[in-house]
């Protein structure tokens, strides 16, 4: 950073005569440059070490020197330091002003370190002041990339620490965990023990919040080791050790080991008491030294009084008065210290009582959660039985040959509809309470006929909604509904059936009218309003408030829909509302004694584009495409092989990984479908061995294991794509076409 300013003195009357404007030059010797950089280094040191008052005393002088130098690099640097000081003093407007100025100047100077710090400061601004964490993450990631590009490794530690803290605030535990691990490695390398103490505590809290309790305890133990290695009697070490005890206590509390948790809570309190005792001891020692000094002064005064009694009589009286005042002050201070010590003990006792109260409340919450879980399982069982009832009913009808082939086709359509409904319901239940957006099901964007879909739902109602209450369903479809729209029919049917099923349970012998209207249309978008209304449907005020709260607050936990044993059907509305959020919509609920109740929602559908005559050109026909299915389950073999051959492709079966290796050595395949969980060698190991000799053939995993939890294994093995079981045949066909097209188009 120590660079001198290269100055050029050009004083010629010829140049001045060629231009009409005057330019004022500030010329600085190398001595002036050293003065400016020394001042800026000093200012930066005081800011980094949190000596704000000292920094404030020299910042004006530093800015004056930088401006007088007319060096943009110096000016940009002092503006960055100004913004950091303003952030420390909570001067929000000044932070933004100086950052804007520094950003403008940075465009005109080549300062690698300045570029890194500027992005870091913008990240801190959006973290601390604007609370825009996404923008903060963007700036901090930019700062990290620059530090890697310019090889500023040690400076990267604090930037990574800021980024990990933001993910912690956002409760993005996975990213916080990964970034903190990288930061810990760098902090160990450069022996940044204070950072490590903070990072291990944060990692412990992250693991605690994600129920990885043993890992959390391991991180807390690592942090404690560093604290013990650096143990002195400072406030920082004792304060950090107290935090670690509190963190460990929280882990055992969550694990249900309340006795162990109480043990660490006790250690936490004891550490706090030690910290306070330390300060009292230090303060008492200072008072003792001060008192000894006063006694020595008094001895000197006595000697002077004996030798010069008459001359020093007046001075002696004066010193006696001063000594009396000091003693009074000391007594007052000792009284205050005693009072504070007593107050601290009272607060600690209050703290322990509060913790005991919290433990009791936690026990009550666990018992309530168990009751809610029981109600939840009962409700999910009901939801699963609904499509299974339809499947069993249609299967029973298909056993008897009907003379009407159209009726059999309708029954098959209902059977397929029920199967898709059941598959989507299982996926929805898994997705509703997950925070990982990458695992969310992507909605299909296929041609959709609302009229045809409603017809299938009408035919399926007698199977999906058991008519114990003898309700009548009426459907009102707008004549202006377009059949040329794009959407996900399975997703939409889940929403509609959930709402119809829920409303039907509240009415006995009533009429439910479901209407679909075209609200407005453009060349590209068709906005459709769906509403279910019944004058026979009424809710109490308490029930209305509960439903509105659940639908408006966008809660993720399904248990919020289970407030009591008689409220099982509310879950269907929560599911419907969650599904609507993926369509950029939400469920609206109104109720009155006169008009009854209404559930409504709007969905904007894209209009179907005019199809052009596009053909798929492959160097091979379907009959020439050879596909290998590696699967150890006989039923899955038959089903998968039948689906593939129905589309006109060749299909061979390998019953385990060893057989798959033999077949791939002898034959060439255009595509391989690989099961993962197999006896012998699993799908990961089989794929790795195939990849040693074949890097090109697409290998698609057909598996029931989670993609997100095993992502690294899929990548390391060389898996091209993952399809989760159970799957729809159309999904399998789509992936076959994609894989083949990449090889032969």
Q: How confident is the model at residue 509 (pLDDT cuts 50, 70, 90)?
A: confident
Mean pLDDT of all residues in 494-498: 86
Rounded to whole angstroms, the Cα distance separating 527 from 480 reads: 11
Q: How confident is the model at residue 671 (pLDDT cuts 50, 70, 90)?
A: very high
CA angle 309, 310, 313 (to 5 degrees): 75
- Cβ neighbours of residue 658 closer than 8 Å, sequence gap 6 or more: 680, 681
Rounded to whole angstroms, the Cα distance separating 291 from 284 reads: 10
Count of beta carbons in the 10 Å neighbourhood of residue 708: 10
Distances, alpha carbon 560 to alpha carbons 427, 433, 437, 494, in Å:
19, 11, 21, 20
Q: Is 596 exposed, middle or buried (0-12, 13-18, 19+ CB in 10 A)?
A: buried
The pLDDT tens digits for 283-308 are: 566 456 546 655 665 666 677 676 66
Q: Is 93 helix (H, G, I), strand (E, B) or coil?
A: helix
The answer to whether the 409-607 and 622-744 domains have the same CATH topology is no
- Whether omega before 721 lies within 30 degrees of 0, making that bond cis, reads no
Q: Which two tokens stand for residue 643?
A: 């689906």
Phi, psi of 693 (to 5 degrees): -115, -15
Q: How confident is the model at residue 463 (pLDDT cuts 50, 70, 90)?
A: low
Residue 654 has a pLDDT of 94
Mean pLDDT of all residues in 214-226: 87
- Cβ neighbours of residue 554 closer than 8 Å, sequence gap 6 or more: 577, 581
Q: Is 390 exposed, middle or buried (0-12, 13-18, 19+ CB in 10 A)?
A: buried
Q: Is the pLDDT of residue 731 over 90?
A: no
Asked if residue 532 lies in contact with residue 500, where contact means CB atoms within 8 angstroms, the answer is yes
Instruction: Kindly report the average pLDDT of the chain as a whole number.
Output: 78
Q: Is the pLDDT of residue 196 over 80?
A: yes
Mean pLDDT of all residues in 631-646: 90
Lowest mean pLDDT among 453-467, 649-663, 715-729: 453-467
Residue 21 has a pLDDT of 28
Q: First-to-last CA distance in the chain?
A: 56
Mean pLDDT of all residues in 490-500: 86
Residue 375 has a pLDDT of 52
Q: How confident is the model at residue 24 (pLDDT cuts 50, 70, 90)?
A: very low
Q: Is the pLDDT of residue 661 over 90?
A: yes
Residue 388 has a pLDDT of 65
What architecture (CATH level 2) is domain 622-744?
Answer: 3-Layer(aba) Sandwich (3.40)
Count of beta carbons in the 10 Å neighbourhood of residue 243: 20
Q: Which two tokens stand for residue 718?
A: 């060389």
Choose among 209, 221, 287: nearest CA to 248.
Answer: 221
Distances, alpha carbon 256 to alpha carbons 260, 264, 608, in Å:
9, 14, 56
| Domain boundary assignment for the chain | 231-400, 409-607, 622-744
Residue 72 has a pLDDT of 84
Phi, psi of 538 (to 5 degrees): -135, 145
More confident site: 325 or 619: 325
Residue 688 has a pLDDT of 94
Q: Is 534 helix (H, G, I), strand (E, B) or coil?
A: strand
Q: Which two tokens stand for residue 288?
A: 């003792």
Q: Go through 667-676 and write b for each residue having 16 or more CB atoms within 10 A of its CB, e for each that does not.
A: eebbbbbbbb
Q: Is the pLDDT of residue 190 over 80?
A: yes
Q: How confident is the model at residue 714 (pLDDT cuts 50, 70, 90)?
A: very high
Q: Is 697 helix (H, G, I), strand (E, B) or coil?
A: coil
Lowest mean pLDDT among 350-354, 594-598, 617-621: 617-621
Rounded to whole angstroms, the Cα distance separating 187 from 658 reads: 46
Residue whose structure tokens are 């300013």: 5
Q: What percent of the chain has pLDDT over 90?
A: 17
Rounded to whole angstroms, the Cα distance separating 439 from 442 reads: 9
The pLDDT tens digits for 317-358 are: 777 778 888 889 898 988 888 888 878 888 888 888 888 888
Rounded to whole angstroms, the Cα distance separating 611 from 189 reads: 60
Residue 683 has a pLDDT of 93
What is 409-607's CATH number, 2.60.120.10, 3.30.565.10, 3.40.190.10, 3.30.2130.10?
3.30.565.10
Distances, alpha carbon 307 to alpha carbons 295, 313, 316, 530, 722, in Å:
19, 11, 13, 109, 102
Q: Is the pLDDT of residue 403 over 80?
A: no
Q: Is the pLDDT of residue 20 over 60?
A: no
Q: Which two tokens stand for residue 395?
A: 């299967």
Residue 513 has a pLDDT of 92
Mean pLDDT of all residues in 182-207: 89
Asked if residue 65 lies in contact with residue 24, where contact means CB atoms within 8 angstroms, the answer is no
More confident site: 279 or 620: 620
Phi, psi of 148 (to 5 degrees): -70, -40
Asked if residue 643 lies in contact with residue 726, where contact means CB atoms within 8 angstroms, the answer is no
Q: Which two tokens stand for residue 660?
A: 């798959």
Residue 533 has a pLDDT of 93
Distances, alpha carbon 595 to alpha carbons 321, 516, 524, 538, 569, in Å:
90, 19, 35, 9, 22
Mean pLDDT of all residues in 185-193: 89
More confident site: 8 or 501: 501
Residue 674 has a pLDDT of 94
Rounded to whole angstroms, the Cα distance separating 485 from 474 reads: 24
Q: How confident is the model at residue 578 (pLDDT cuts 50, 70, 90)?
A: confident
Q: Which two tokens stand for residue 252?
A: 């055992």
Residue 400 has a pLDDT of 59
Q: Is the pLDDT of residue 684 over 90?
A: yes
More confident site: 304 or 607: 607
Q: Which two tokens stand for residue 187?
A: 């902090």
Q: Is the pLDDT of residue 237 over 60?
A: no
Q: Where are the beta strands (DSSP E) in 430-497?
A: 446-448, 472-477, 485-487
Mean pLDDT of all residues in 155-159: 89
The pLDDT tens digits for 355-400 are: 888 888 887 877 766 665 655 565 566 566 556 655 766 665 566 5
Residue whose structure tokens are 């959407």: 487
Lowest mean pLDDT among 22-36, 327-341, 601-615, 616-630: 22-36
Count of all residues that appear for the chain in the document: 745
């Amino acid at each position: 950073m120590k660079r001198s300013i290269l100055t050029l003195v050009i004083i010629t009357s010829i140049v001045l005569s060629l231009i009409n404007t005057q330019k004022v030059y500030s010329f600085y010797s190398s001595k002036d440059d050293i003065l400016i950089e020394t001042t800026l280094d000093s200012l930066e040191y005081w800011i980094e070490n949190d000596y704000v008052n000292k920094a404030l005393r020299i910042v004006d002088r530093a800015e004056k020197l930088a401006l007088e130098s007319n060096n943009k690099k110096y000016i940009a640097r002092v503006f960055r330091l100004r913004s950091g000081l303003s952030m420390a003093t909570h001067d929000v407007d000044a932070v933004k002003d100086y950052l804007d100025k520094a950003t403008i100047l940075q465009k005109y100077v080549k300062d690698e370190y300045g570029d890194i710090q500027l992005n870091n400061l913008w990240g801190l601004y959006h973290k601390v002041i604007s609370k825009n964490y996404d923008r903060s993450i963007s700036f901090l990631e930019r700062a990290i990339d620059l530090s890697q590009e310019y090889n500023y490794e040690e400076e990267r530690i604090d930037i990574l620490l800021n980024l990990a803290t933001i993910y912690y605030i956002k409760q993005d535990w996975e990213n916080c965990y990964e970034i903190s691990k990288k930061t810990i490695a760098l902090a160990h390398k450069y022996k940044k023990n204070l950072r490590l103490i903070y990072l291990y505590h944060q990692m412990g809290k992250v693991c605690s919040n994600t129920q990885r309790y043993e890992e959390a305890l391991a991180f807390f133990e690592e942090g404690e080791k560093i604290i013990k290695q650096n143990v002195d009697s400072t406030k920082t070490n004792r304060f950090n050790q107290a935090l670690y005890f509190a963190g460990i206590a929280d882990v055992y509390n969550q694990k249900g080991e309340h006795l162990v948790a109480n043990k660490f809570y006790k250690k936490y309190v004891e550490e706090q008491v030690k910290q306070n005792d330390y300060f009292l001891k230090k303060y008492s020692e200072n008072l003792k030294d001060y008192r000894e000094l006063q006694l020595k002064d008094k001895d000197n005064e006595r000697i002077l009084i004996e030798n010069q009694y008459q001359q020093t009589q007046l001075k002696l009286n004066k010193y006696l008065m001063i000594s009396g005042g000091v003693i009074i002050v000391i007594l007052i201070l000792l009284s205050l210290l005693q009072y504070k010590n007593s107050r601290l003990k009272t607060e600690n006792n209050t703290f322990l009582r509060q913790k005991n109260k919290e433990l009791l409340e936690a026990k009550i919450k666990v018992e309530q959660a168990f009751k809610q879980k029981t109600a939840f399982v009962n409700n999910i069982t009901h939801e699963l039985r609904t499509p299974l009832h339809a499947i069993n009913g249609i299967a029973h009808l298909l056993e008897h040959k009907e003379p009407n082939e159209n009726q059999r086709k309708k029954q098959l359509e209902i059977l397929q509809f029920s199967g898709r409904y059941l598959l989507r319901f299982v996926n929805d239940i898994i997705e509703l309470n997950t925070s990982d957006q990458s695992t969310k099901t992507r909605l299909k964007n296929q041609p959709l006929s609302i009229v045809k879909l409603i017809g299938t739902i009408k035919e399926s109602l007698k199977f999906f909604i058991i008519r114990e209450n003898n309700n009548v369903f009426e459907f009102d479809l707008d004549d202006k509904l377009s059949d040329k729209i794009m959407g996900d029919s399975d997703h939409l049917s889940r929403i509609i059936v959930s709402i119809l099923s829920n409303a039907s349970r509240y009415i006995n012998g009533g009429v439910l009218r479901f209407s679909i209207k075209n609200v407005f249309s453009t060349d590209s978008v068709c906005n459709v309003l769906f509403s279910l209304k019944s004058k026979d449907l009424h809710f109490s005020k308490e029930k209305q408030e509960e439903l509105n709260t659940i639908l408006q607050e966008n809660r993720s936990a399904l248990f919020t829909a289970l407030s009591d044993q008689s409220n099982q059907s509310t879950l269907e509305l929560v599911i419907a509302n969650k599904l609507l959020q993926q369509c950029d919509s939400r469920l609206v609920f109104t109720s009155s004694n006169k008009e009854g109740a209404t559930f409504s929602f709007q969905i904007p559908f894209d209009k179907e584009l005019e199809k052009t005559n596009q053909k798929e050109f492959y160097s091979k026909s379907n009959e020439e495409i050879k596909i290998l299915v590696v699967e150890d389950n006989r039923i899955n073999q038959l089903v998968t092989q039948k689906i593939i051959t129905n589309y006109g492709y060749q299909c061979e079966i390998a019953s385990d990984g060893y057989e798959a290796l033999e077949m791939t050595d002898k034959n060439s395949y255009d595509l391989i479908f690989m099961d993962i969980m197999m006896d012998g060698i699993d799908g990961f190991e089989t794929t790795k061995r195939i990849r040693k000799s074949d890097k090109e053939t697409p290998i698609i995993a057909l598996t029931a294991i989670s993609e997100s939890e095993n992502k690294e294994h899929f990548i390391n093995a060389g898996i091209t794509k993952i399809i989760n079981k159970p799957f729809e045949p159309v999904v399998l066909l789509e992936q076959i076409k994609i894989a083949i097209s990449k090889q032969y188009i």
